[in-house]
Amino acid sequence: MFKIRVLVTALALISSISVASAWKALPTVAPAPANNPTTEEKVELGKMLYHDPRLSSTGTVSCASCHNTQLGGEDNRPNSMGVNGQTGGRSAPTVWNAAFNTVQFWDGRAASLEEQAAGPVTNPIEMGMKSWDDVVARLQTIDGYKLAFEQVFGKDAISKDNATKAIAAYERTLITPNSAYDKYVAGDKSALTAQQVRGMDTVQELGCTACHSGPAFNGPGLFQKFPAHSNASFAEKHHFKDDKGLAEVSKKPDDEHLWKVPTLRNIALTAPYFHNGAVKTLDEAVTIMAKLQLDKDLSKEQLADIVAFLNSLTGEFPKQKMPVLPATLGATFN
């Protein structure tokens, strides 16, 4: 089930990568699978479902509660809060540019946005529905949803499969191109400051792009061991090894502490950092990554330059008109 591809690249090879091949602008359109083509009507239905708290057992938690598209695509909490005030053990990853991930969730257990969309709804801590059958039954009582599903998928079309397809179609529109970095690699050499250019060179020279490569800075579908190097003070302070990553799902010892490589896009907006949200600032996150992944101690100048470059990865957020949700007339679910 799990096809683990851990990139092991010598830093000497990284230093030989040309800027032309290493630096790419973010595409403005995400590819859709053949069985779920993107249409305007499907995206609108997905937007409604994504923002509707009635997909949760308490009617209080929607996808947007933890992955807020009015912010950085997550909730700026160390651990997201689900139904009845429960919190999980991981920090919500951003939904912005998630369409460019090869796998989804921190542990990469979902192979697609459609598969990912199905999980939180029935997770007892997150949205708390007992089953997707219960979700479907609830949606079938709402006339507005019956009409919306029919317009997209045909008559009597409310189902788990179609609901997750619609949510995934909406998420594929959540792209943030045209950052200062994108403008720079497209030819506008005034788009980055001198410090940001130094930071760009530094992340390549140090080997950061061994994992954080490609237009989304998330690698070509890689898993990476974290931490790769030991440091007692960091481990004790931030509890990075308490969660075994992919092994929590696969139950395989070889998968312990393997994680999906997260995107660096919009990273300035998504504090706190790491899978457990244990690090509050971007400066500290960069320092920790250099030490635990590359066994490097950064100078103050290197740190400042890298953080400046990471700030250049904040893109332009598409204007969104929030949906009017179909009404539940004269009744409540709770």
Q: Which residues are catalytic?
A: 126
CA distance 242 to 258: 13
Hey, what amino acid is at 148? A
Q: Name, in order, each residue with C-beta under 8 angstroms of 226's C-beta and a sequence gap of 6 or more.
A: 240, 245, 257, 258, 259, 275, 292, 293
8 Å CB contact between 218 and 212: yes
CA distance 47 to 63: 10
Q: Name, in order, each residue with C-beta under 8 angstroms of 70's C-beta and a sequence gap of 6 or more.
A: none
- Torsional sign, CA 214, 217, 221, 224: positive
Backbone phi, psi, residue 259, to 5°: -135, 150
8 Å CB contact between 56 and 121: yes
Short-list 262, 282, 268, CA closest to 314: 268
Short-list 245, 332, 275, CA closest to 4: 245
CA distance 105 to 102: 10
Cis peptide before 215 (omega within 30 of 0): no
Cα dihedral 278/281/283/287 (nearest 10): -10
CA distance 219 to 211: 5
Q: Which residue has the tokens 């799902």?
A: 249
8 Å CB contact between 66 and 80: yes
